[in-house]
Amino acid sequence: MPNYTDSIFSFNTVGHHAVNTISPLAIIWLPIISLTLFLISHKCHQPINPPPKGCRRLGLPHLKTNLHDEYNPKYSQGVPEKHIDPEDKPSWRIKALFAYPIKSCTGVELDTADVVPTGFTYDRQFCFAEYITPKANTNQPQQAHWTARTLRDGSLCRMALIRPEIWVPDPTAMDYSPELQEVRSQGVLVIYYPRVTTGMHSLSVKLGMMLGLLSKELSFRVPFSPPQDTYSKPGYPLTPVKIWKDNPLAHDYGHHLPPSLHRFLDPGRTRGPLTLFRVHSSHHREIFRNAPRKEDIGFQPVTGFADAYPIHLLNIASVQDIADKCKTDIPELSIRRFRANIIVQGPGAYEEDHWKRVIIRDSSTGSGSAGVEAYTACRTIRCKLPNVDPDTGVRHPVEPDRSLKKWRRIDPGDLTNAALGMQIVPAVQEFIVRVGDGIEVLETGEHCYIKMLKPGEKVEGV
């Protein structure tokens, strides 16, 4: 067994006197050993964060996923829409559902999702934003403002590792009460993020995590919605946040963010101040462009912090085809990179490109159910965001963007960029969608993506 004492202390004899001197190694190891002993002695006293009162966690259990076989080549073949499934299920059906409570952060997989006018109830209701101060030497008149940030911003790939949990009020919970703040705020987001291990104590922190004395994640909580009696209080001020060409008013949740989250997101302190915004229910972004008209569906389509439309649909066969084209660089290209809400199985690759209207049928009530009609408003135009691995937060330098642009620049409205997936606008404002629900095509036709409009400009005659 090595003698660690000898490695820390050296004993020098000067004449007849023994003098103890501390070696340079001691300067490094003594603080680590002291911290480790401190953590061991205090581990039993560390508080365990209890779950939010009166709530239950929404989503699939830990390690369970409906995408467990997403790389199975059987999905690449496609089956006829009216094919008889061996399990007596619709041949074209929903395979998986995801909500992304915080834009560009980890998604929450669901078996059932409630749909509201902005999309899934818990989808893209929050976003991180950076405070931009205009440069002094510019001829363009600008004002300081908050602008939404996403994984598109190269230095913010770590956002992919921020993991929100959705906790919703549960009247069956033993500690439930309508007076609880967690209930009055319509639930709670518990937000996890990796513990930062940089700085002078990084070795101690890494050792503590390795020994199980420190958690690998830190967390904090925010109310899903500001309680009604706090709307006028300074805790959640309504502030404009720039997202594309819109500037909706949103609640600033900045006072909830711990300093350690700022260090995680911006370790080099190279960015402006960062905050977290929450969509305000009276300041949604109206959708025009390719969306169905108000006179056709009875309401103006809106969205929260999603890029452009309420719901994003993706066909697993289409993703497998792209994955095959870039498998040398990325052996397993997960469909989760594309951050869709609804993932469907059954159609062959790219069959969805020409869908115009579909019906989502509740599979539990049989094929005779009325279902919910939805407009596939346009194809999803792709940026480089899918280059970021959702499991590591690391951006691949070229893929799958290179393969997408080589094979999928097919939309006449934007031949500069690739298209994959469809943007959905339901014809009703509220309904429920489930894994296993059938997808039936009502109408097919041509699509032409309409690019972003100027502020206040509306699409006529589309």
Q: What is the pLDDT of residues 361-413, one digit of tens each?
A: 997 766 556 799 999 999 999 999 999 999 999 999 999 999 999 999 999 99
- Rounded Cα distance between 20 and 39, Å, is 28
In a domain, 10, yes or no: no
Number of domains in the chain: 1
In a domain, 20, yes or no: no
Q: What does the pLDDT read at residue 138?
A: 64
Q: Is the pLDDT of residue 204 over 80?
A: no
Mean pLDDT of the chain: 87
E-strand ranges in 70-215 read 93-99, 108-110, 112-116, 119-120, 126-132, 145-148, 163-169, 188-194
Question: How many Cα atoms occupy the beta-carbon half-sphere of 306 within 13 Å?
Answer: 28
- Choose between 354 and 201: higher pLDDT: 354
Q: What does the pLDDT read at residue 193?
A: 97
Q: What is the pTM of this model?
A: 0.87
- Rounded Cα distance between 351 and 367, Å, is 21
Closest to 165 measured CA to CA, from 108, 123, 247: 108
Q: Euclidean distance between the first and final Cα of the chain, in Å? A: 79
Q: What does the pLDDT read at residue 229?
A: 62
pLDDT in tens, 170-184: 999 999 999 999 999
pLDDT in tens, 37-96: 555 555 444 556 799 999 999 999 988 999 999 999 999 989 988 777 777 889 999 999
Closest to 444 measured CA to CA, from 350, 380, 381, 376: 376
In a domain, 43, yes or no: no
Range of 306's domain? 69-444
- Rounded Cα distance between 65 and 396, Å, is 25
In a domain, 60, yes or no: no
Cα-flanking dihedrals φ and ψ of residue 379, to 5°? -75, 155
- Choose between 280 and 216: higher pLDDT: 280
- Omega prior to 400 cis, within 30 of 0: yes
Cα-flanking dihedrals φ and ψ of residue 419, to 5°? -125, 135
The pLDDT of 321-342, averaged and rounded, is 98
* 24-42 helix and 202-210 helix, angle to the nearest 10 degrees: 40
Confidence of residue 154 (pLDDT cuts 50, 70, 90): confident
Q: Is the pLDDT of residue 291 over 90?
A: yes
Q: What is the CA radius of gyration of the chain?
A: 26
In a domain, 154, yes or no: yes
Are the C-beta atoms of residues 377 and 309 closer than 8 Å to each other? yes
In a domain, 18, yes or no: no
- Give CA separation, 250 vs 147, 253, 272, in Å: 12, 9, 19
In a domain, 193, yes or no: yes
- Choose between 458 and 333: higher pLDDT: 333
In a domain, 371, yes or no: yes
